[in-house]
Amino acid sequence: MTTKAWLERLKAKQVRRDLVVLDRSEVPEGTCELCKAKNVELRPYGPNDEWICFDCGMKDEATTARKYLKHVFGEETH
């Protein structure tokens, strides 16, 4: 997925090359890439960076926590 596509899916706006602002007034929704549940809130925390729902995220809390920390504080922040 391209950076532009990630920004659109996360409802984010790149203000500078090194700074992105997330709009949390709306959350990304769609179909979970693991269980195929439709119209659910999604996050990019799947084992292979899939967009997953809360229920799938809680099936493997350790992976979800690791992906969350990597996404928010690590090299893959957007």
Stretch 13-34: mean pLDDT: 80
> Is the confidence at residue 27, as pLDDT, over 70?
yes
> Is the confidence at residue 61, as pLDDT, over 90?
yes
Q: Which residue has the higher pLDDT, 54 or 23?
A: 54
- pLDDT for the residue numbered 75: 61
Stretch 42-60: mean pLDDT: 93
Do the beta carbons of residue 9 and residue 29 sit within 8 Å? no
> Is the confidence at residue 41, as pLDDT, over 60?
yes
Residues belonging to the chain: 78
Domain boundaries along the sequence of the chain = 3-73
